Amino acid sequence: MSLEFAKKLAAHETPIPGVVLYDLPVHGDNRGWFKENWQREKMLAVGLPDFRPVQNNISFNEKAGTTRGIHAEPWDKFISVATGRIFGAWVDLREGPSFGAVFTAELDASQAIFIPRGVGNAFQTLEDNTAYTYLVNDHWSADAQGQYTFLNLADETAAIEWPIPLAQAELSEKDKAHPRMADVARMPAKKVLVVGADGQLGKALRGAYDGDATVEFAGRAEFDLASAEAFTNRNWNNYSTIVNAAAYTAVDAAETAEGRAAAWAVNVSAVAQLARAAVEHNLTLVHISSDYVFDGTREVHTEDEAFTPLGVYGQTKAAGDAVVSVVPRHYIVRTSWVIGEGNNFVRTMASLAARGVKPSVVNDQTGRLSFTDDIAAFIRHLLESKAPYGAYNFSNDGLVKSWADIAADVYEQSGASRRDVSGVTTAEYFKDKAAAPRPLSSVLSLAKAQSTGFDVADAEARLTAYLKAENDKA
């Protein structure tokens, strides 16, 4: 069979999600032929995942009818033929709705196919002296063999029509002993790891992913960001994503010598470790940022605004954002005025209202509340919708208000009088107090978040629902 020369590089979807067949341009003349078997830039342009191969293997098969498989391995593979021709068979052995899906095709040197982790791979040579080559994105090791999944080549459910009947083909004894479909150990999906899972946002993420076995939650006891062993003792190949819900948020304490060191350790040094793991293992890193990376002099803050932090806390969050921005697959979710399970401004105001206290509340800082359930839902939306990587502002939508306005809303909905709340300027409130500087405007533009198709809930409606839920708990 002669090769077809001068085909264009092209991608063809298959019935198995993530498995894509590629036509490769082959250039030939009287001397023979030449092809670019792997060309990252061109292949990414036609949709090949940037799976970052680290090892290249070649399987030489002397006789037609040599048959190998069906093996699902814990890494991605980019398969092509160097010489000869094969009949390839691929079966989805991953947990999920596409389990058992089958795709077959004949491949020569002008084609290649991308096989994601967990899809069973098999081939049968159709010509003598066939060389089969594959790139993989993890180094082979004896330990990795324990994560393989196998299917018998003769499985009746897959019903693969081998060109050369298996009784006449060359098979290994191991391949003959592989299980039928009903007994296959399905390849589990890669996991999302949520670190800092015991904080306000971590608890909301637990709720957002309740019952989802592909999401793993780690508090400090399970993943200590200050420990080097937490990073080195984990098999990152089992994960696709890290969500960093951990942060040092004691804004005023960060201005002290002890607090400054703690803020930099959690908000920068630990983030750098997470970023390094993400880069080395090609993971997506989701990081939570803050309006404090801005000085608050602009009326509305957009994602492309330059960092202008006023205090130590804001400086550490800006530094953490800069670190995360160099991770190829990252989402920075920048929030303001976070309200969730735990101590927060709304709970404090509700408590004061119940006790008949008439507080003075800052009236020259403006913004919108960000409820953790909505932040968690937005993070899940970004990951599941595969939104473009980058920074996204996120708060709840609606009217821009001051802290005093929100306090008055809480008082009114708690059965007290709005007039019990009096307004005071930031300068007056913090006079003679050791406090960090605050941005006066924390209003975040939501246009980019909304452009992803996410419906941003109104802050006033969420406040009403939150207070009702708090009252129901009491």
pLDDT attached to residue 144: 63
pTM: 0.88
The residue range of the domain holding 112 is 10-183
Q: Is 411 designated active site?
A: no
pLDDT digits (tens, 9 = 90+) for 188-229: 999 999 999 999 999 999 999 999 999 999 999 999 998 989
Q: Which residues of the chain have pLDDT under 70?
A: 1-3, 5-6, 142-146, 474
Buried b (16+ CB within 10 A) or exposed e, 81-109: beebbbbbbbbbbbeeeeebbbbbeebbb
Residue 57: count other Cβ atoms within 10 Å of its Cβ: 12
CATH code at position 463: 3.40.50.720
Q: Is 134 designated active site?
A: yes
Same domain, 196 and 169: no
Looking at 151, 183, 215, the residue that finishes a domain is 183
pLDDT attached to residue 342: 87
Total domains, the chain: 2
Same domain, 202 and 332: yes
Same domain, 196 and 128: no
The one catalytic residue in 134, 248, 392, 466 is: 134
Q: Is residue 170 part of a domain?
A: yes
Same domain, 382 and 428: yes
Looking at 143, 167, 183, the residue that finishes a domain is 183
Same domain, 283 and 399: yes
The one catalytic residue in 12, 22, 27, 71 is: 71
pLDDT attached to residue 34: 87
CA triplet 442, 385, 326: central angle to 5 degrees?
A: 60
Same domain, 197 and 294: yes
